[in-house]
Amino acid sequence: MDQDHGASVGSGHSGGQAVASSGDIQRLATLVRRARYMVAFTGAGASTESGLPDFRSSQGLWRRVPQHMASLAFMERHFDEFVAFYRQRIEALKGVQPSRVHRILARWEAAGWLKAVITQNVDGLHQQAGSRRVLPLHGDLRTCRCQRCGRTQPSEAFLSRPYCDCGGRLRPNVVLFGESLPAAVWQQSHQEALRCDLMLVVGSSLEVYPAASLPELVVRRAAAGEAVLAIVNRDPTPLDEQAGLVLRGVAGDILEQVDQELARLGSNGDPVE
Ligand SMILES: [Zn+2]
């Protein structure tokens, strides 16, 4: 483990409106370049620049839409309203473009620096930006599946007629409140959290479980010097105090600056003179 890892904590600690300093940008760029196995963990803040509302901030979706509509119980009891709500959400995704965050993470994967993106987002924008190894913990709104036979198909089917050929109800292929996370994706994400030496959190408030237990796992590994947790988020998170580096601000701005800094660094993480 490099000495830089976990050596300092960024300006995020010093105040609510803190903006990442150039020193923090350099530190994160060095962590990224020196990591042997970096994994990203993203939340709604990665997609806000694409025009999608986040969920838990003061402007978030759950302040405007009752959370219970995205629940298993609501789907079972009020299927028509449930369908109308999700049709709106799927339609809202049309024409939405990946943000700077999605594009930069896709580039870092192509460069071999980033090994996987674990995401809590269901918008499919990481895949659209070109990321190959994406683990969507909460499912994927671009597909739907039959509640009876389990067959998966593009969400267009759900938009036109929410019933499968077998007669079962179609529902978005996302995790509803009251449902478990998809077992295979969870298993793989857990493996990535165990394997990585750098987990980069981007745009997540780290308040949703069990997803947030993955960065928590990295924090425990950090205590043994095995990994570093770095957090890029607009607001404070419960793990800020334990993270190796915290950069607070607009995720797209910060990643863009880190990306520029990476271009200046040599392959060993030292500045190119
Ligand atoms: Zn079916």
CA 147 / ligand 1 centre spacing (Å): 7
Average pLDDT in the chain = 88
The values of phi and psi at residue 119, to 5°, are -130, 145
pLDDT of residue 271: 57
Write out pLDDT tens, residues 228-249: 999 999 999 999 999 999 999 9
Q: Indicate where the chain has its CATH 3.30.1600.10 domain(s).
A: 53-95+141-174
pLDDT of residue 13: 41
CA 237 / ligand 1 centre spacing (Å): 41
| Number of neighbouring beta carbons within 10 Å of residue 211 | 21
Q: What is the largest CA-CA distance in the chain?
A: 66
CA 157 / ligand 1 centre spacing (Å): 12
What is the C-alpha to C-alpha distance for residues 70 and 67, in angstroms, rounded to an integer? 6
Question: Domain 1-51+98-138+181-265 carries which CATH code?
Answer: 3.40.50.1220
Q: What is the ipTM of this complex?
A: 0.99
pLDDT of residue 154: 96
Q: Indicate where the chain has its CATH 3.40.50.1220 domain(s).
A: 1-51+98-138+181-265
- Spell out, as residue ranges, where the chain has pLDDT lower than 50: 1-17, 273
Query: Which two structure tokens, joined as six digits, stand for 28?
Result: 């994160």
CA 172 / ligand 1 centre spacing (Å): 13
CA 90 / ligand 1 centre spacing (Å): 20
What is the C-alpha to C-alpha distance for residues 46 and 198, in angstroms, rounded to an integer? 18
Angle at 254 between CA 231 and CA 59, to 5 degrees: 75
pLDDT of residue 92: 86
Write out pLDDT tens, residues 52-72: 765 555 555 555 566 788 999
Question: Which residues form the catalytic set?
Answer: 138
pLDDT of residue 11: 39
Structural fold of domain 53-95+141-174: SIR2/SIRT2 'Small Domain' (3.30.1600)
CA 183 / ligand 1 centre spacing (Å): 20
What is the C-alpha to C-alpha distance for residues 213 and 210, in angstroms, rounded to an integer? 5
